[in-house]
Structure 1
Amino acid sequence: MNTVSVARNLAGNTAGKIRVGIVGAGTWAEYGHIPSLKLLPEFEITAVFSRDQKKADAVAQRHGIRYAVNSLQALVQHPEVDLVLVLTPAPQHEEGIRAAIAAGKDVYCEWPLTPSRALSEELMQLADQAGVRHIVGLQRRLAPGYRYVRDLLAQGYIGELRSIRLHISVEYFQRHRIAALYYTVPEANFSSLLSIYGGHFLDVLFTHFGYPETLSGLTVNQFKEVTLIETGETQPHTSPDQVVLSGTFSNGAVLSVHLEAGKRNNFGVQLDITGTEGDLKISNSTSFGDAFNLIEGARGDAQPLRELPVPAEYDWVPASSLGGSTLELAHLYAAYARDVRDGSTLAPTFKDALKMHELITHIDTSNRTGTRVTLA
């Protein structure tokens, strides 16, 4: 990738801001993307498109966005848009990505990128050929706390790694779901517990702490049918609600992961990292929301865990009252702005999406064949 597209567009932009156009005016756009972009002085949201014009108009009015356009082409070809955000459900991503690339605009897309790895690879190649930057919404890796823990490991805080244990339990993906989550039901849409939550958290795990050499996967579907609450419509459901992984790292350290959906109580995140000299723990009372991660650590024998505040230098965004998940997204945009300015590669790209898609394919293969797979 290169900076040609944004540099070309910014040349006529006297304010020097990265001007953003939004495709898809849903809840996550208003809860996550719009607040995080408003926090960063490098960005300006200039346009929004929704298939429902009234919805686009309402979002534009609520957030002071100048243009609520009536078509995808109008959004991507708008002269005051440098970066296109594709925030629609995964099965609709291809359309927005292709349109942005054809218009020569940098493109951000939510994870999962597309339901098909081959299609995602094709879109990445098209973007590279067009010279536009591509970003995928695997934002959790850029949270200050995860980057801090990565550095603690590199500095030898726990000595040599012995084990990593991750438990993710979510209240979402239950047997009864709101109609807006219709796209999470068909397995072909690649929008399940494993692809969405597994993709986000396994990306954090393996980006910062390394990929395992071997991996075994067990996936279980406990909800054979899903009912949409508003309509009462019941659909067959074949995606996993429980995922258990085990593996080994190159130094002999062991990995264990448990993902569970539809948990009624006591859901959240716990990541335990054990070493020869000490331990680290990251925990949260939710897998997605306003709560911030608690980081604790201890060295030596039989020592109590103590909180390890994240040093200020890991925070790339202005102070605000935004919650944890929104600030993770703000750090992704801050990383992208640095990439545009400095030519760095901090923000995750479609290449990272392909790597995660491939990992999930390995997990499916291991579960289907009952064998341990070796990762390249």
Structure 2
Amino acid sequence: MSEQTIRVGVIGAGGWATYGHLPALRTLPEFDVVAVSARRKESAEKAAEKFGIPRVYADTHELIKDPDVDLVAVLTPTSQRVPLVKAAIEAGKDVYSEWPLTTRTADSEELLALAEAKGVRHAVGLQRRQGPAARYARDLVARGYVGDVRAARISVGVDAFGPVMPEKVAWTFDVDAFTHVLSIYGGHFLDVLFQIVGPPKDLTSVIETQFSELTVEETGKTVTSAKPDAVMAIGTLENGGLFSVQLEGGQKFPTGLQIDITGTEGVLRLTNDRAFENTEDNTLHGVNGDSSPGSALAVLPVPEEYRSLPDASLDESVQDLAHLYAAFARDKANGTTEATTFADAVNQHHLIDRIQESSERRSA
């Protein structure tokens, strides 16, 4: 382990920690996971044994205070993150938080202000923009591949957040948990869209709760729901182009991800049959230049320089996370800003607020 190695303490040992974070961190020489803590100590001990983590803490605050921890990764449910992130910042530790950063915009703004005041580095798990195809699409647009952007369209369709869900995620039934189609899939994939084509300027939206009753799979218990599970929005981009958004949860036959970007000189299309936990990277298609009118879109291979990880054997969704951690390490070493930060999280909170407020005005 070199002096530059970032020593990580992980809080949370659930499915995304053991499927995503710990395997991703294990592949990166810049990091060493030295401690783990979880609500159930047995879960932390199991993760420690599987991934060779030397220290297990029953008390998360003891992990945060550990002098051998440089970076605290907070992977708990959203409603539990504020005090843990705040404690890590107060301890002078760099901190990673899953997205959503918090359940309320004001709380996320407070954490951003605190991190900046304390001078600690911070990252948030908006890792989808780090995928090779997404970064290549961003660079192609910046280089003028499509010319001036005329329109951008995104469709995300998933089977998650349907009318029947297992008991282990019943805590998401409460709209105040901020864990639904708009906050999760909107947060991740609108971040991808707008980092490619630039930020939105004006928007109008419609939000619906099409599954007004949710059922716990194991018990048959039902609850009334106010969570959004279908979202549409249209608007203008800062650069003058148009955009449209469709987010749909609980699909019986998931449609996945599709982004279309049309411009004065060409077209780009980014697709994936699985929007989340995908085993393969998004596929990028394009056409531009001197092609005759009506020419078909062709696959655009992603250059190898966008695939810089030392281990490509993990599922692509986990590799996206590894790309984010690698960007964080480069930022720390070089003073750059490649990784998504709490500032990006606050931007997403504000965007979601705008979508919700537009829909509420329409319904008033």
- Whether these two folds match at TM > 0.5 is yes
Partner residue, 2:360? 368
Partner residue, 1:294? 283
Offset of 1:328 from its aligned partner? Answer: 0.7
Partner residue, 1:93? 81
Whole-Å Cα distance in 2 between the matches of residues 230 and 20 of structure 1? 36
Whole-Å Cα distance in 2 between the matches of residues 215 and 23 of structure 1? 37
Give the one of 64, 70, 95 matched to 1:76.
64
Offset of 1:250 from its aligned partner? Answer: 4.0
TM-score by length of 2: 0.95
Whole-Å Cα distance in 2 between the matches of residues 332 and 14 of structure 1? 21
Offset of 1:233 from its aligned partner? Answer: 2.8
Give the one of 313, 316, 335 matched to 2:305.
313
SS at structure 2 position matched to 1:213: strand
Which residue identity is paired with 1:293?
Answer: N
Which residue identity is paired with 1:111?
Answer: W
Which residue identity is paired with 1:239?
Answer: K
Alignment of 1:244-263 (within 5 A): 244-263=232-251
Partner residue, 1:332? 324
Alpha-carbon spacing, 1:180–1:310, altered in 2? closer, same or farther (3 Å) = same
The answer on whether the counterparts of 2:141 and 2:196 sit within 8 Å (CA) in structure 1 is no
Alpha-carbon deviations, 1:146-172, whole Å to 9, x = none? 111111112221222111111100110
Which residue identity is paired with 1:292?
Answer: D
Find out whether 1:147 has 2:139 as its counterpart: no
Offset of 1:130 from its aligned partner? Answer: 1.8
Whole-Å Cα distance in 2 between the matches of residues 126 and 308 of structure 1? 42
Partner residue, 2:212? 224
The answer on whether the counterparts of 1:281 and 1:296 sit within 8 Å (CA) in structure 2 is yes
Unaligned runs of 5+ in 2: none
Whole-Å Cα distance in 2 between the matches of residues 21 and 32 of structure 1? 15
The answer on whether the counterparts of 2:198 and 2:239 sit within 8 Å (CA) in structure 1 is no
Partner residue, 2:38? 50
The answer on whether the counterparts of 1:150 and 1:208 sit within 8 Å (CA) in structure 2 is yes
Q: CA RMSD in A?
A: 1.4
Alpha-carbon spacing, 1:319–1:309, altered in 2? closer, same or farther (3 Å) = farther
Which residue identity is paired with 1:307?
Answer: V
Give the one of 340, 348, 354 matched to 1:356.
348
Offset of 1:121 from its aligned partner? Answer: 1.2
Unaligned runs of 5+ in 1: 1-12, 372-376
The answer on whether the counterparts of 1:245 and 1:256 sit within 8 Å (CA) in structure 2 is yes
Find out whether 1:341 has 2:333 as its counterpart: yes
Offset of 1:251 from its aligned partner? Answer: 4.5
Whole-Å Cα distance in 2 between the matches of residues 22 and 276 of structure 1? 47
Alpha-carbon deviations, 1:239-295, whole Å to 9, x = none? 111000101224442211100000111421011111122211110010112132111
Which residue identity is paired with 1:283?
Answer: T
Alpha-carbon spacing, 1:250–1:358, altered in 2? closer, same or farther (3 Å) = closer
Alignment of 1:129-278 (within 5 A): 129-278=117-266
Alpha-carbon deviations, 1:104-148, whole Å to 9, x = none? 111100111111111111112222222211111111112121111
The answer on whether the counterparts of 1:140 and 1:204 sit within 8 Å (CA) in structure 2 is yes
Whole-Å Cα distance in 2 between the matches of residues 302 and 130 of structure 1? 55
Partner residue, 1:32? 20
Which residue identity is paired with 2:158?
Answer: V
Which residue identity is paired with 1:105?
Answer: K
Whole-Å Cα distance in 2 between the matches of residues 207 and 252 of structure 1? 15
The answer on whether the counterparts of 1:183 and 1:191 sit within 8 Å (CA) in structure 2 is no
Whole-Å Cα distance in 1 between the matches of residues 334 and 124 of structure 2? 19
Whole-Å Cα distance in 1 between the matches of residues 183 and 360 of structure 2? 16
Whole-Å Cα distance in 1 between the matches of residues 77 and 122 of structure 2? 18
Offset of 1:52 from its aligned partner? Answer: 0.7
Alpha-carbon spacing, 1:251–1:100, altered in 2? closer, same or farther (3 Å) = closer
Aligned pair count reads: 359
SS at structure 1 position matched to 2:200: coil
The answer on whether the counterparts of 1:169 and 1:268 sit within 8 Å (CA) in structure 2 is yes
Alpha-carbon deviations, 1:17-66, whole Å to 9, x = none? 10111111000001110111111100011111011111111111011111
Whole-Å Cα distance in 1 between the matches of residues 192 and 238 of structure 2? 18
TM-score by length of 1: 0.92
